[in-house]
Amino acid sequence: MSNATLSRHTLSHLDWLESEAIHIMREVAGQCSNPVLLFSGGKDSICMLRVAEKAFRPGRFPFPLMHIDTGHNYKEVTDFRDKRAAELGERLIVRSVEDSMRRGTVVLKSPTESRNKHQSVTLLEAIAEFEFDACIGGARRDEEKARAKERIFSFRDEFGQWDPKNQRPELWDIYNARTFKGENIRAFPISNWTELDVWQYIEREQLELPSIYYAHRRQVVRRGGAIVPVTELTPAKTGEEVVESMVRFRTVGDITCTAPVESTADSIAKIIAETALTTITERGATRLDDQTSEAAMEQRKKEGYF
């Protein structure tokens, strides 16, 4: 048996996914002059950092890290973000929706309006500020219908907008990152991964995570079929019963639109077992801003969202 044949029989599906992600990340670094890796401290971007390590270590990453912060993110996650970037010795750029609010480019309809959808404005401003020609993100096709339409190298026009009908073919895994000044590419190395793949990769690589991914006790209310954490930003409404439940977060983001799920999974092995049995996508179950309309995410992506 040849070495090539032996390799095909011994590589696991995680090996193949990791190899593809490394290839994509190196393609971005090779084709683009000024890319950036989006890193929020969430589980998908944590996997992306490990892929980047395997793609470029022992050298430094050929791009900085960047997070678009709403100013309303969970402290456990932003603290982890800062700690992980420091451990790697990589440059971390943080731009906040609050910066855009001070500039007047983001105006909230009310003080309680979610800032999550306004990340698009801040992201586009950061891209223009640093003249990034590619943003490497951790979005996956299994998360949401609009993301399933997106290419690995997703072309954005000079306004930062996504047109699903104006994308480039990617036959035989050949990627085209050519852009004119002002245009950019959003690249998604783990696009073909599933939520289960992510957790299995975290287990295999023994990756550290923010604590809120594991089951813990938290005060919550039940609202519109979702479990809403009780915080200063999301207080209980009149007539709602506040209870303390065992919950964990499947995905993390702005506090005002990220809901946990009931769970006793306090280890990665237990989370993998839960994930293997679930029939609801993580965003469908826990992202309150995506439940209002099936077209909500697609519209936000057309406006520049990652």
Written as six digits, the tokens of 247 are: 């919950």
pLDDT at 198 over 90: yes
Distances (CA, A) of 113 to 102, 117, 254: 16, 10, 11
pLDDT exceeds 50 at position 37 = yes
Closest by Cα among 167, 212, 26, 76 to 37: 26
List, edge to edge, every strand of the sheet that includes 216-223: 226-229, 216-223, 243-248, 261-262
Residue 156, pLDDT above cutoff 90: no
- Which structure tokens are listed for 160? 């930062």
- Label residue 100 by pLDDT band (50, 70, 90): very high
Locate 246 and state its tokens: 């065992």
Which residue has tokens 């077209």? 295
32-36, 144-148, 173-177, 289-293: lowest mean pLDDT where?
289-293
Q: Name the 3-class secondary structure at 287.
A: strand
Q: Are 256 and 234 in contact (CB under 8 A)?
A: yes
Rounded Cα distance between 257 and 149, Å, is 23
Q: At residue 292, does pLDDT exceed 50?
A: no
Average pLDDT score over residue span 64-70: 96
List Cα–Cα distances, 231 to 14, 240, 256, in angstroms.
37, 14, 9
